[in-house]
Structure 1
């Protein structure tokens, strides 16, 4: 058993004065085989603590169906940290932000049209409590009060940036304490009056999040909490990237300078991020600071962190270690052996499977009067395909997908007519309908649910309806395409590459003698998703900034490895290249 508490401006672990020097590492963004490597590098940098969010949508992907295996084995991650001598801070909020799909909340919440999020709404709280009934008993043996490494847990996350429902926050606190979470509880918010007023909870330590202006932030925190330690729970050592952005970077010197400011103020700190990792699959989130300002996050969560996406120490790593050594006695920097990387070279993908011919093999048709959203059909992520028929003749008019979420390719009699994107209000589609009518197919991509701010409660797919002119169109056939099982695809060999006329799957086989980390280059490709041995590696897009995709060695196997790519628009060369270095743009 151990205790972690504070008295005045000082933290104590077993009555010994302690300063928390922590780094954020999300178990759900790293293959489990590399957890130990990343944690050892965290410790070698001088950190005594690791912090992680807990992603609800990863652990309860469907209501009442729980997963705590593989990458979702949070118990093993925490146990491993403890075995390495690290403390652990856990942030098990129903909401985590984290640039993660829907801020970590499961999309099935939205199947209830009356659902209210992050407030004292009994149906929402019932779901949270049912989740806590499963999650928190797994964490209880890992608390420091029970001999484990967990020293503190968070109540909600940056709640003051969203709301001020104290009844809700106190319910979460009570939900945790009544289930035996008897360690230090804390909140984290921006260092502004409204945020601290909205997010603080009586009996919980308040902390603040910032990337600069240390004294100003800590002074504001002391105004609200004068007799407690000051801690930056999220020291933003850099930032994340959206598609079509430039890759964000921050100089090692500047990051180290602000860290020095934090520690010189007798502050504790948690690097956000210490190691970012990867938004595998469809788990990337999105931001929207206005109704029309949708910005999806890229697959890489490199974050320009001290450890890069592939877990390698950067210049920033050594700069912050040097600062930490001014405040903590550190020995030699003993790092694990570098993880080998290989450039497997060029791989041609010689098999093709057009999507339209695969729909019945990988999905089941659903018939409805009007197009339904993903959430109402029970689909979480991926794509959804809608099909209807417009009778003719009709004169030229505008074709409108009302409240599209998020990006649609529209086909008329099988030919691409337009690509519509919620981020581009300028693109319009107009056509006339011949006397024999028109078959209309729409492939909609969920580009990631909003993870932060006031516009999170959104549905994906076609959320209002489809109009030709003023008339809403009815009688739809829909195929859900989460792409969780591609075994039904029927590929055929193709000869010379011709212009791609519709979204298509490409397949090739990479033969590997020694599985190692590698980086997949998509020069010549446009936009799509890549699968390796059935594992969804994530999205690529020639908009950048991401030019390559990180492939952890454990996703490969000795011998034949199946590579499948869903390309939405077309490629100038049906081949990819495996490199030994990334290109983040």
Structure 2
């Protein structure tokens, strides 16, 4: 190519870019367009199309859950959403984080382990600064593949409570929580100069199989009593009909990822002369433990998205921002109602969801497809930002593990063990301002046992959800080595499970049952929300019920994690539950990475005291996303609690890893 031709090509590219910049400068922002003559009205749905402040609007929205993304990344993700052409974002609010103990609240700097993630006001204000409107879905139930669907576990301490119903006891707690939350949201409404244009009433209530308009009316009243004036709506798969809705009072919206015409035609039939909106167009899917990693092709995504837009309908893409179930906050599905735990399907820590923006903030082909279609179908042209740069992730060197504390040592030294005549669940423990134990592990210890040779332990009912059995500190639960092990002793699928405790007679033995909560169910019928974790039925040895227990709540709270003492050289790593500690130095600028857990079996990873997520070798997730915001300049600490057998090194990865662990066949 001639030099002159190259120069002309460069000049033409420069002129196109300059012309684009001029056009952008001439365009109004999203807010300027809809508020140029002041604000007189909010989002209106009294006809077949939406208006906002008297102007027609198609809502191009994407889901982004602030509590799943480190706050240092909020603006980056929001600006990327606006750069794709979206004019709105949608978020849930997580009750179980915001009221982490009964009557104790955290909306940022409130003292909980998640306090940094919980400033919902700041999140919404940043969304407005980034030229985005906001849809808020405060529940009180949110599903969202989130632990207990966002409901706080302390609700279960009231044995007669009926969650997600018009039960006065339940509504008393909802009104108390919403009184705190809505006090913060009320000034952020669009008609008060804020970005919130609509709020949701409950969530997929039609999927409960129940019809309770009185309950939905009660929630509407709480909204209005707390000064919420904006549009209210419900969302359900259209196949649920109007069971979860108030069709003559609230806007109905639809959730689905297939058969666009059938679903939206059904929605239009259910409510005539109202705008059509898909509240959840599922961009990908989530992963249960032991499944293959789920993806949805960009071609399928693009085809369905365009069909929604040409219906025509407004749409919220769920999820638009991939994210993370940090801590113990992953949810679960349950195949069976009531207290039958055998059909539990825990979710993994990653909530990447195969989204247009990945868990680590990368722009994907779905992002590009979204931007193209929004540009094509949004008649309102407004100023868009440049796509922010996504910093390259790093991989730290492998770190040899040289420090360990045995689980049995932790239990031995745990202060203030709780004496209990009978087995009790996590939720019923008299701790945390009498709110019980929400997350982590619970240990049932029985001392001074005289055991016959071949004594058999039987756990009545179901383990909730994984148990490690130790006698005199020695692990008896078989080491996890296969997906099929989930159908054997130690896991939630087996009813009335049993194990031999000793081959020879023992006197004065100590028995520890260490039970992990793998997640409370977040979806389904109302009878699937009465659930408890730990053990709730009799424990027997040689058919004799055991009484008089010592109970240890191993919650792995940040303050406890950071003050752990008693570290010593690694003594035993095979078939020995233990905590392992490494430290490493990080220099600025801080960058994201992944912790590679392929060589571990089951447990948790803790970074600088904060629980990063779960390890489970049966897959599909084999690397935990570690955002730079959880690192610090200088020394950093990783603690791994491993249930079974540990490798020699803590390793990192630049990219996510999907599959099964190296020890699983």
Q: What TM-score does the superposition give when structure 1 sets the normalisation length?
A: 0.96
**Structure 1 contact 465–472 (Cα < 8 Å) conserved:** yes
Aligned equivalents of 1:139, 1:296: Cα separation in 2: 32
Report the counterpart of residue 281 of structure 1 in structure 2.
327
The Cα of 1:456 is off from its aligned counterpart by: 2.0
| 1:43 alignment partner, SS class | helix
Give ranges in structure 2 of 5+ residues lacking alignment: 1-38, 109-115, 430-435, 478-488, 660-665
The Cα of 1:552 is off from its aligned counterpart by: 0.4
Aligned equivalents of 2:496, 2:358: Cα separation in 1: 37
Distance 1:397 1:492, change over 3 A: closer
Distance 1:391 1:491, change over 3 A: closer
Aligned equivalents of 2:618, 2:632: Cα separation in 1: 31
Report the counterpart of residue 544 of structure 1 in structure 2.
619
| 2:202 alignment partner, SS class | coil
Distance 1:431 1:559, change over 3 A: closer
Aligned equivalents of 2:413, 2:118: Cα separation in 1: 29
Deviation digits for residues 192-227 of structure 1, max 9, x if unmatched?
A: 1x4422333541100010001011011111121011
Report the counterpart of residue 510 of structure 2 in structure 1.
439
User: Which one of 461, 466, 474 corresponds to residue 415 of structure 1?
Assistant: 474
Report the counterpart of residue 76 of structure 1 in structure 2.
122
The Cα of 1:471 is off from its aligned counterpart by: 2.6
Report the counterpart of residue 280 of structure 2 in structure 1.
234
Report the counterpart of residue 88 of structure 1 in structure 2.
134
Aligned equivalents of 1:220, 1:363: Cα separation in 2: 59
**Structure 1 contact 362–488 (Cα < 8 Å) conserved:** no
User: Which one of 388, 410, 414 corresponds to residue 358 of structure 1?
Assistant: 410
**Structure 2 contact 521–529 (Cα < 8 Å) conserved:** yes
Report the counterpart of residue 581 of structure 2 in structure 1.
507
Aligned equivalents of 1:441, 1:195: Cα separation in 2: 50
Report the counterpart of residue 19 of structure 2 in structure 1.
none
Aligned equivalents of 2:496, 2:544: Cα separation in 1: 21
1:430 aligns with 2:504: no
Aligned equivalents of 1:501, 1:560: Cα separation in 2: 30
User: Which one of 217, 223, 235 corresponds to residue 176 of structure 1?
Assistant: 223
User: Which one of 371, 378, 384 corresponds to residue 321 of structure 1?
Assistant: 371
The Cα of 1:361 is off from its aligned counterpart by: 4.7
Q: Pick which of 180-189 and 511-520 moved more.
A: 511-520
User: Which one of 450, 453, 458 corresponds to residue 524 of structure 2?
Assistant: 453
Aligned equivalents of 1:223, 1:167: Cα separation in 2: 23
Deviation digits for residues 110-133 of structure 1, max 9, x if unmatched?
A: 111111110011111000000011
| 2:107 alignment partner, SS class | coil
The within-5 A match list for 1:165-564 is: 165-192=212-239, 194-200=240-246, 202-290=248-336, 291=340, 292-328=342-378, 334-359=386-411, 361=413, 363-377=415-429, 378-389=436-447, 390-393=449-452, 396-397=455-456, 399-418=458-477, 420-425=490-495, 428-431=498-501, 434=505, 436=507, 438-454=509-525, 455-484=528-557, 485-494=560-569, 498-514=572-588, 515-564=590-639
Distance 1:135 1:474, change over 3 A: same
Deviation digits for residues 39-75 of structure 1, max 9, x if unmatched?
A: 0111111110000000001100001110011210000
Report the counterpart of residue 568 of structure 1 in structure 2.
643
Max Rg structure: 2
Aligned equivalents of 1:20, 1:314: Cα separation in 2: 22
**Structure 1 contact 361–489 (Cα < 8 Å) conserved:** no
| 1:463 alignment partner, SS class | coil
Distance 1:190 1:89, change over 3 A: same
Aligned length: 582
Q: Whose strand proportion is higher, 1 or 2?
A: 1
Report the counterpart of residue 67 of structure 1 in structure 2.
106
The Cα of 1:332 is off from its aligned counterpart by: 7.7
Aligned equivalents of 2:537, 2:495: Cα separation in 1: 16
**Structure 2 contact 140–202 (Cα < 8 Å) conserved:** yes
Distance 1:133 1:470, change over 3 A: same
1:34 aligns with 2:34: no
Aligned equivalents of 1:199, 1:409: Cα separation in 2: 45
| 1:295 alignment partner, SS class | strand
The Cα of 1:498 is off from its aligned counterpart by: 3.8
Give ranges in structure 1 of 5+ residues lacking alignment: none
The Cα of 1:251 is off from its aligned counterpart by: 0.3
Q: What TM-score does the superposition give when structure 2 sets the normalisation length?
A: 0.85
The Cα of 1:250 is off from its aligned counterpart by: 0.5
| 2:377 alignment partner, SS class | coil
**What is the aligned-residue RMSD (CA, Å)?**
1.9
The Cα of 1:536 is off from its aligned counterpart by: 1.0
The Cα of 1:349 is off from its aligned counterpart by: 2.2
Distance 1:204 1:221, change over 3 A: same
**Structure 2 contact 302–366 (Cα < 8 Å) conserved:** yes
| 2:538 alignment partner, SS class | strand
The Cα of 1:189 is off from its aligned counterpart by: 0.5
Aligned equivalents of 1:400, 1:68: Cα separation in 2: 40
| 1:186 alignment partner, SS class | strand
Aligned equivalents of 1:263, 1:201: Cα separation in 2: 23
Q: Pick which of 446-455 and 426-435 moved more.
A: 426-435
Distance 1:111 1:427, change over 3 A: closer
**Structure 2 contact 459–496 (Cα < 8 Å) conserved:** no
